[in-house]
Amino acid sequence: MQNTSECQLQVRLITKQDIYAVPDVPLSVPQIIESKSLNDLVNQLLNESSSDFLKPKDFDFLVIGELLRVPLIEHLQERNISTEVTVDIEYIERTPAPDPENSLLHDDWVCGIRTLDKWILTGCYDYSVNIWTTHGKIVTSLKEHKNIVKAVSWLDETDLSKGFVSVSHDLTGILWSWEPGTDNVSPKAVLRGHERGIDSVGVSPNSSRLATGGWDTNLKLWSTSLEDEGEPAYKKIRGTNSLITKTPLNTLKGHKETISSVNWVDNYVVCTASMDHTIKFWDAELCGIKNEIVGQKAYLSSSWSPLSNTLLASSADRHIRLYDPRSPEGTLCKTTFTSHTLWVSAVTWSKYDQHLFLSGGYDSGVKLWDTRSPKAPLYNLQGHQGQVLSVDWSNNKYLVSGGSDNSVHIFKNKHVN
């Protein structure tokens, strides 16, 4: 009987990255070949076909849609693929490990983060909203809120001068104006209407509306405009010159517990994840529920990707799930990602790659994932000494996380210059 280590199978090495293409011919490789040996083989073939590749490249290998993480024969057997056929192996340039870049120290827990250009916006348990540079310099710290600031967001990702929004357990949201690069920041409008603390906020893609959710279980929609549009929502607070009070355009009821996360799918559909074990898709025009996903545990975080039209959601059970709401009923959950050892408190998609996302957990871990590798993250990003409460990848250059160790950690994406 032939030794498995000597058994060969036929493979064809293919790539969509033309610069790295090798001759498209079947090759015999050992059945037990792993990624490292395949990487050596591709580099050898590149060297033979061109003198441009003197320095070896790092590649990952896709077999039947998943990254190869075990010997090839095991990968095929797990998927009931015959070893008698020629196996197509697609190779892609490997995502490099992000480098630790900076740590931003706060006075209390950090639970809201958004990056844009070279700026980082944070919300903190000490009631503050802060603007930092990605190089770690504090621009300004604002304390208009009277309780924990749970979430923050820029109002327009193409125009910093449009300002930002913060939401708090003091039952209000605040719209802020900012002259980018200066410490000239001022509150322009306060959002009033929630009856309990606000946990989440999302801005529509066209920047015209906000959605907020919180402990009163209600989803509320607001205009971002500071101009009087004739809406009853608009009135000035007595005794002030500029601060406006806005009330919701609409209140959408349906959840039974806290709304932990709000995402706009497009300008007309809002997605909410809740502690009541459900995810709901709402028609923001008709103000009704379009679709619902029922899970087994409380949802702690979610993130929508317009690149793949899929939703990531994390629960109070260590798992991250990938949902495709377009799937037939019963098969909405496409993939489960498990590596965290405690609850996963935060997830966010990369806005630049439909396969990559970031997660943070109560186990102090921050993990960089590829959806084609569900059994293990690409990288574990070290640094936090406490629970990770928020992660953000809005700027492709920087992966950012904040937590109960009073710090924000910045990791540089080496894939981007």
Domain assignments of the chain as residue spans, ordered by start: 4-93, 99-412
pLDDT at 2 over 60: no
Per-chain mean pLDDT for the chain = 91
pLDDT category, 238, cuts 50, 70, 90?
very low
**DSSP 8-state code for residue 327:** S
pLDDT-above-90 percentage for the chain:
82
415: region left, alpha or beta (phi > 0 left; psi from -120 to 50 alpha): alpha
- Mean predicted confidence (pLDDT) in 16-34: 92
Are 81 and 87 a contacting pair, CB within 8 Å?
yes
pLDDT at 235 over 90: no
CB atoms closer than 10 angstroms to residue 100? 12
pLDDT category, 232, cuts 50, 70, 90?
very low
pLDDT at 257 over 80: yes
Are 180 and 213 a contacting pair, CB within 8 Å?
no
Is there a common fold for 4-93 and 99-412?
A: no
Q: What is the pLDDT of residue 240?
A: 44
Are 193 and 251 a contacting pair, CB within 8 Å?
yes
Structure tokens at 136: 């770690």
Are 384 and 359 a contacting pair, CB within 8 Å?
no
Q: What is the distance between the alpha carbons of residues 333 and 315, in angstroms, rounded to a whole number?
A: 13
pLDDT at 230 over 50: no
HSE, side-chain direction, 13 A CA sphere, residue 388: 32
Q: What is the distance between the alpha carbons of residues 205 and 222, in angstroms, rounded to a whole number?
A: 14
pLDDT at 416 over 70: no
pLDDT at 417 over 90: no
Q: In the CATH hierarchy, which fold is given to the domain comprising 4-93?
A: Ubiquitin-like (UB roll) (3.10.20)
Over residues 98-138, the pLDDT tens digits come to 999 889 999 999 999 999 999 999 999 999 999 999 999 99
pTM strictly above 0.85: yes
Structure tokens at 291: 């679709």
Over residues 321-335, the pLDDT tens digits come to 999 988 766 568 999
pLDDT at 61 over 80: yes
Are 278 and 271 a contacting pair, CB within 8 Å?
no
Over residues 335-346, the pLDDT tens digits come to 999 999 999 999
Q: Which residues lie below 8 Å from residue 40, measured CB to CB, with a gap of 6+? A: none
Q: What is the distance between the alpha carbons of residues 4 and 85, in angstroms, rounded to a whole number?
A: 17
- 58-61: Cβ within 8 A, 24+ apart: 58/93, 58/94, 58/96, 59/20, 59/91, 59/92, 59/93, 59/94, 60/35, 60/91, 60/92, 60/93, 60/94, 60/95, 60/370, 61/35, 61/89, 61/90, 61/91, 61/92
Q: What is the pLDDT of residue 369?
A: 97
Q: What is the pLDDT of residue 242?
A: 65
pLDDT at 408 over 60: yes
Q: What is the pLDDT of residue 305?
A: 97
Over residues 274-331, the pLDDT tens digits come to 999 999 999 999 999 999 999 999 999 999 999 999 999 999 999 999 999 887 665 6
Instruction: With CA atoms as reference, report the closest residue to 303 among 337, 254, 253.
Output: 337
pLDDT at 173 over 90: yes
Measured CA to CA in angstroms, residue 82 lies from 24, 86, 146, 372 at distances of 21, 9, 64, 21
The CATH code for residues 99-412 is 2.130.10.10
pLDDT category, 56, cuts 50, 70, 90?
confident
Are 108 and 405 a contacting pair, CB within 8 Å?
no
For every residue of 368-408, DSSP letters joined together read EEETT-TTS-SEEE---SS-EEEEE-SSTTEEEEEETTSEE
Q: Give the Cα-Cα-Cα angle 136, 413, 69 (nearest 5 degrees).
A: 140
Are 403 and 389 a contacting pair, CB within 8 Å?
yes
pLDDT at 243 over 90: no
